[in-house]
Amino acid sequence: MSRPLFRGALAYPVVWAVPAIVACVLGARGDVPGSYRQRADAICAQATAVAPRAVAAYGPDGAVAVADRQLYELQRLSVPYVWRQRHAELVGRFRTQMLWLRTSAVQVRTARHPRRELAAAQRRMAVMAQADRRALAALGYHACAA
């Protein structure tokens, strides 16, 4: 014989379904700790923290070394399907920065007036970084946009 429906029977699906839906939404957005986006942002945050010391110690070559390591770590990530296009744009932007940094480092080393060339390179980098920041923030990479 069937029993009559009671309040607890209606609450049971809600108790397990709501947390599952919240976890799925947060996972798709990349807001779950340990998710792809969290790892990508951690790589960017680490590079941002290390860069000033590397540049102070090694000049433009220090910036190249930090950016090279950051790009390498980002390329090694396992990327979920829903993030592949955004990841490709992230990596593409960092590759462009790497090429620019390598070229600038050579120009500074070979310049007649290295300090003047370094200042000009820093101004060009600030303009490029501003455009990248907006794009990366729109893609959901908040620490990479910092």
Between 80 and 34, residue with greater pLDDT: 80
Is 146 inside any structural domain? no
Range of the domain at 59: 36-139
* Cα–Cα distance for residue pair 58/132, rounded to 1 Å: 24
For tokens 């907006």, the residue is 134
Is 80 inside any structural domain? yes
Residues counted in the chain: 146
Is 16 inside any structural domain? no
Is 82 inside any structural domain? yes
Is 90 inside any structural domain? yes
Is 27 inside any structural domain? no
For the stretch 99-107, contacts whose Cβ atoms lie closer than 8 Å and that sit 24 or more positions apart, written own/partner, are 100/124, 100/125, 100/128, 101/60, 101/63, 101/64, 101/67, 101/125, 102/64, 104/60, 105/59, 105/60, 105/61, 105/63, 105/64
Is 25 inside any structural domain? no
Averaged over 10-14, what is the pLDDT?
A: 66
For the beta carbon of residue 101, count every other beta carbon within 10 angstroms. 20
Report the predicted TM-score, pTM, of the whole model to 2 decimal places. 0.73
Determine what percent of the chain is predicted with pLDDT higher than 90.
Answer: 35
Is 145 inside any structural domain? no
For the beta carbon of residue 132, count every other beta carbon within 10 angstroms. 19
* Cα–Cα distance for residue pair 144/36, rounded to 1 Å: 13
For tokens 């990327």, the residue is 79
- Phi-psi group of 59: left, alpha or beta (phi > 0 → left; psi -120 to 50 → alpha; rest → beta): left
Q: How confident is the model at residue 89, as a pLDDT?
A: 95
Number of domains, the chain: 1
Q: How confident is the model at residue 145 (pLDDT cuts 50, 70, 90)?
A: confident
